[in-house]
Structure 1
Amino acid sequence: MALPAQILFASEQIYQAERIVSFLQKRGFVVVVVDEFDPEYDWNAIDAIICVPGIVTQQLFEDLRTSDDRPLLVWVTDDLDEYLENNHSIADLILPNHPIYVEQQLEIMLSSQVNMNQIREQLDQQLKRREEIELLKNAIVRNVSHEMRTPLLQVKAAVSLITEEIGTVRLAEMATNAMTRLESNIQNVTMLGTSLDIELKPMFLPSAVESTIKSLERAKGSKDETNRIQLLIEKNLPPVLADKVGISTAIRLLIENALKFSDDNVDVIARKKGDHVYVAVQDYGIGIAEEKLKDIFDLFFQVDGSTTRHYGGMGIGLALVKLILEHHNCEIFVESEPGRGSIFYFFLEVADPNRLFS
């Protein structure tokens, strides 16, 4: 219910009606005075109805009482004792036809009504939030279970090789690659679900990129894919202020994303721009439609309905990149064109030289 409360006030035969209306208005209530009730009223938009007893109002109150979301129903009468005895189940409040009593009781009841409706709204919001969390949990289960299935199948195949007594070298490669991929997936999910331990220190970006490439080679089990990575890193780059593990993870995720959606080379670019270092990962693959660019950093977002199954992935990589960079006080940008590829880039602050050896 919106505040202030809106009251429908039928003034006929109510003693000193103007005084009661003035009292309510001074306390912030919106009062609509009518001589008769229109059946077309939106009763859900009204917080209280104040009127005298009668056949019409009795029927109206009886009809409204069947609704959970209804206004406060108030009768004002000269025959208080009679109506209190016989009609307490029709009206919520039966008051004597005197402004002082009407004012006092209405203030109490309407305040309670307002508080109850506020509580109801809060409960509705909490329920909606729970439903959203439940949907999110279901999405996590679906995506994680699918992405974990592939390396587990590789382990299963490795066991099959043992049974068939096929070469142990190939067996070791399959098992190692599967476990490395599992560890990477688990690490990504864990980072999303916990507070990131980011510590900004001066670091050399080229060494972080090199270690990232090596970790990708270990995860892939060969250099076939990493050979497609071209390093376009400016010489003599100054140190940047960053968390080495965090930035290495962000770059790794961007490279993995580029390799997944492109069969061509992937460029990793770093060069100084003013008091920042520009870092970018560019691919020449399928690209992203303009209307979807605003959503690609959302958790579990997939470029299209078939992406999860066709290309693999849980839809958490870019969300994690965004989260890591937010902890570096910087933003991730993307430019893309369908059929021509994408470029993701961000800017890291150059470290203060005085901090290098502190």
Structure 2
Amino acid sequence: MRGIGAAIAILSLISVITVSHTVEGSVGPGSITEIGDAPDILWGSEGIGPEWQKIDPNNVTYFGILSLNDSVDIFALEIFSEEWSMIGFSIEPKGNVSISIQRLNQTSWSIEDFSNLSVGEIELDNGTHAVRVERLGGYGKELGYAFSLENLGTVDVDGEYVNLDWMFTPFYAFAGLLLILPFLVVLWWNRDELVLGRKNKLVSEQEQSTLIALRERFAEENVRDIGIEEIKASLRVLSEKSWDSVTDEFGLPEIRHYTKDLDICAWRFDDSRKSILIGIKTGGSEWNMAAIKIFSPNGEEASIDRVEPEYMFQDDEVFIGDLGENSTTFLRLITVGYVSSVNMQISGLMDGNPVAAAIISPIHFESE
């Protein structure tokens, strides 16, 4: 019985010593617990002191606690291998704490590299490095954590670096051409604007001057005293590109008839009771035997006195003739006497089909 009692006593003593040794922070494989409260800052140029607990990364799990007012724990990580080692790491519970393995300069202790994933790997050379655990949640209470370190073996960092840029030259050429191709396509589409840009600008300025002059002349009462040839020449200057310029200069038309293949607009002028500017723009179809007839919705007699440029007209109708596809034509009608309101009817053939329409909204002139 005495022998059995002595054996039990010896086994109990060994268990107590083992537990005590583990709690005190023994370094080695297995589990390690925190000794005291780990510092929350990295050691400085004076080197590592006894307050920083040292950990061996050979397949160890470390258990620690962030106290109520503690947010960061810093530990020393010792690498004894003369070659570079690949160290794997992970931490629990994910979301509430983060771990960062920091590779330190062994002279100045500055951070040269770090990895701060929840699970990851980092290459470390011989010496002392740092493990930083930081609280991300669970504030206002103690927070337990456990991180594991695993030595995955040595890493061969020696070798000769070879410049292989030449292997990527064809790729760079192809990628550059692929990226610049849309720009070249846009340049090709706009080649006329780019090559003839200055010429078009001069034409636009000329059209603007012509429109301003026409507006001033059309607004004068004594139209017969105006240089007729000058007005005719000005109307001929207006081309397809003048359509938007006329709208910008004269404003929105008071009468407009718009379809897919035909756009007819008419403008009057504040100071003129007899003059109407009519613009006709065709689309993808010809307008043959085109004619425009004016009438007064109030029953007044409306007839044409003159058309500029010269077109054949009779009484209240002007015969324009044939207009080609995508063409723009401007003409001026001067009425006989004063008419308070003028409306228009259009007629002709489009693609061989008769076209006839009466525009609903008339032009109203000011009373004399």
Q: TM-score, normalised by structure 2?
A: 0.25
Q: TM-score, normalised by structure 1?
A: 0.25
More strand by share: 2
Work out which of the two has the higher radius of gyration on C-alpha atoms and give 1 or 2: 2
More helix by share: 1
